[in-house]
A and B are shown apart, each in its own frame.
Chain A
Amino acid sequence: MPQLIKDLLRIKKLDASLAIFIGIILTSVLGSMLYATKPLAIVGPAEQPPSVEFPLGTDSWGRDLLALLLAGTKNSLRIGVTAALISLTIGLVIGVTAGFKGGIIDSALMLVTDVVLVLPSILIMMLVAAYLRERNPFYVSLIIGATGWPWVARAIRSQIMSLKSREFMYLSKMAGLKDVRIIIEDLLPNMASYIAMAFVLLMSGAMIAEAGLSMIGLGVTKGVSLGIILYWAQILESVRRGMWWWFGPPGAVLVALAASLLLMSTALDEYFSPRLKGG
């Protein structure tokens, strides 16, 4: 294992993506502990450009945008992780069951998967969120997580299908091991790298989805996230009134987070499937 980590750390793309990603996490976590201003407190005059006192300026209510950005980043990350875990769990359960059992169970599960895949997730999310009056971060994660899993299920299924025909599977079956044990001991470890990549991609997708939901007015109803800051910036016309410090930073942090996650998964993908490196 240590050799694997050493090898992985030698990939420049992976190092760069980890540096950006961990850098942002540390800044938001440590920053919101060290930075004294409370995120939702009204602390100064409204709509001030960045200054020494307010490093990222203030919004129309006179709240400190740096404090909001730190807290918002932390919450967006939390929603991203929770939603990704939910999608990954659903995708794994469906993909593994379909691939392992085959037959009619497989056909039925894949039909469900295809239907969810075709229904545009962002519209379904909007529709569900529209009927919820209170949306806490967990609900938002749940809505995002419940629609993001189909491609994971499909990919996991095809991985299982190809693993199923390998020799060690016959050995395990001949040894009379239970299905669950075969899945946990033989199949999942063989897909570890793939599961890691899927998680990374799900997480970036979930954070972008959170921002999209918030922008249309369906984000968390209490508290702040990157999407919620963008939403406030949008409804209070920050762009037309030239307040770049309001809509700029949250979008930049979101893009940096999501792009570093995508780079991370690309690097992992190239390492684990060498043909993509293109020799």
Chain B
Amino acid sequence: MNQFIRFLARRIAFQITTFIIFLLVIFALPRVIPGNPLAVILNRIYQEARATPELVRTVEKMLMKEFGFGKPMHIQFYEFVGRLLKGDLGTSIAFYPRKVADLVIVYLPWSLGLLIPATMVSWIVGNLLGALAAYKRKTTVDNALLPVFLTLSQTPYYWLAMILLYVFAVTFRIFPLGGAYSRLMFPSLTVRFVLDMLRHYVLPFSSIVIAAIGGWAIGMRSMVIYELGADYVSYADSLGLPDSKVLRYVFRNSMLPQVTGLALNLGLMLGGSLITELVFSYPGTGYLIFRALSTLDYPMIQGTFIFLISTLLIANFIVDLIYVYIDPRVRTSYVGE
């Protein structure tokens, strides 16, 4: 048990280091890039005269205060982290005077609700299909599946999303054109609302699942083929163990790298699903980032990214735990089972 705690402590220390480095990046970017990006926003607000003079002054004061320009760098960073620890991510410019944290909390669940189930389903289906292809290697099944996997693994979710939207919502009007629920509805826990929400969910969800299956299947296929060439497989075969039993061992051993792959690919999947949200006008953080980018709403950009990276690091940690749980070698050495 002691070793297990040490392992966890090491992982947590690593995650915290990573998070601090990320905060340094977030903090440094607006300060080191020439042509002061904040001056650009203020200029833009002046020029477009979208705001009254008082509002411009308020926004300016707010930005100067939150970014703390003019003070020494280490004090700026200290204040930045201090505000963060209090849960203050600053004030949005585009949605002024709303707080960034309040906005992200509203949008984040939609993103996670799309990403987490899609990741899980694609991981399971992809691994099963990949193992099937490996088992049937050198047959028509594998020869037909492999090119499909290869193509899907290189298909951006959002492009598949555009195609599915065009086919199933524009050409055949089976599914709605976008959004997370019908405009006239108000989020509530009624059967009618849930059904409506599910109807809006099908296309974004399928785009991510279908495109993501390819990568998992390719990884699993080569892992299983590799394992099938291992000595223990020939040994088990020579002992006359039934195929199904040998396959179960092979499958379990091949799964482990796929769990690590899950941790490594979460960021990529998140990025892809954020852009997919745009295609469907899905009200998630992808939409929030897009809005923030087009209005140069830097506090919002910072805040959203801090939220997303924290979520990813937590997810990473959970995958670490799962890994310890399922890998018998790690489990016995750490937990002493």
A residues apposed to B, CB below 8 Å: 111, 114-115, 117-124, 126-128, 130-133, 204, 208, 211-212, 215-218, 230, 233-234, 239-240, 242, 244, 247-248, 251, 254-255, 258-259, 262-263, 266, 275-276, 278-279
> Judging by beta carbons under 8 Å apart, are A240 and B170 in contact?
yes
User: Residues 202-225 of chain B: 1 if any A CB is under 8 Å from the residue's CB, otherwise 0?
Assistant: 000000000000000000001001
Asked, given contacts A126-B289, A216-B275, A275-B226, whether A132 binds B26 with beta carbons under 8 Å apart, the answer is no
Q: Smallest Cβ distance from B14 to chain A, in angstroms?
A: 7
Q: Does A127 lie within 8 Å of B301, measured CB to CB?
A: yes
Nearest-CB residue, chain B, relative to A208: B156
User: Could you say which residues of chain B place their CB within 8 Å of the CB of A132?
Assistant: 33
B151 & A259 in contact (Cβ 8 Å cutoff): yes
**Given known contacts A127-B25, A130-B293, A242-B170, is B272 in contact with A255 (CB within 8 Å)?**
no
Given A120-B268, A212-B156, A242-B170, 5 new contacts (CB under 8 A): A130-B298, A216-B289, A230-B159, A234-B158, A259-B151
Asked whether B267 is an interface residue with its Cβ less than 8 Å from the other chain, the reply is: yes
Q: B residues touching A (Cβ–Cβ < 8 Å)?
A: 14-15, 17-18, 21-22, 25-26, 29-30, 33, 35, 37, 40, 134, 137-138, 150-151, 153-156, 158-159, 162-163, 165-166, 169-171, 177-178, 222, 225-226, 228-229, 264, 266-268, 270-272, 274-275, 278-279, 286, 289-290, 293-294, 298, 301, 305, 308-309, 312-313, 316
Give complex CA distance A115, B275 in Å.
24
Q: Which of A119, A121, A215, A233 contacts B22 (CB 8 A)?
A: A119
A120 touches B163 (CB 8 A): no
Instruction: Evaluate contact between B309 and A248: CB separation under 8 angstroms.
Output: no
Q: A118-B313, A121-B268 are in contact. Are A127 and B26 (CB under 8 A)?
A: yes
Please name all residues of chain A whose beta carbon is closer than 8 Å to the beta carbon of B169 when the two chains form the complex.
Answer: 240
Q: Are B229 and A278 in contact (CB under 8 A)?
A: yes
Query: B162 is contacted by which of A121, A251, A262 (Cβ under 8 Å)?
Result: A251
Contacting pair B308 A123 (CB below 8 A): yes
Q: Are B33 and A218 in contact (CB under 8 A)?
A: no
B312 partner residues in chain A, CB cutoff 8 A: 120
**For chain A, what secondary structure do more than half of its interface residues adopt (helix, strand, loop), or is it mixed?**
helix
Q: Tell me whether A239 and B309 are in contact (CB under 8 A).
A: no
Task: Decide if A255 touches B154 in the complex (CB within 8 Å).
Answer: yes
Known: A114-B14, A208-B156. A239 touches B165 (CB 8 A): yes
A120, A211, A255, A276: which contacts B266 (Cβ < 8 A)?
Answer: A120
A117 smallest CB distance to B (angstroms)? 7
CB-defined contacts of A234 to chain B, threshold 8 Å: 158, 162, 278-279
Instruction: Offer 30 A-B interface pairs, CB within 8 angstroms, sorted by A.
Output: A111-B17, A114-B14, A114-B18, A118-B15, A120-B267, A120-B268, A120-B270, A121-B268, A122-B272, A126-B271, A126-B289, A204-B154, A208-B156, A212-B158, A212-B272, A216-B293, A217-B290, A234-B278, A234-B279, A239-B162, A239-B165, A240-B165, A240-B178, A247-B159, A247-B166, A251-B155, A254-B159, A262-B154, A263-B150, A278-B138
Q: Tell me if A130 and B290 are in contact (CB < 8 A).
A: no
Q: Considering the chains assembled together, what is the distance between the CA atoms of A255 and B157 in angstroms?
A: 11
Given contacts A118-B316, A128-B29, A275-B226, contact A262 B278 (CB under 8 A): no
Top 10 nearest A-B pairs (CB, nearest first) are A120-B267, A122-B271, A251-B159, A258-B154, A278-B225, A259-B154, A131-B33, A215-B275, A259-B151, A247-B162
What residue in chain A is nearest B164 (Cβ atoms)?
A239
Within 8 Å CB of A118, what residues of B? 14-15, 18, 267, 313, 316
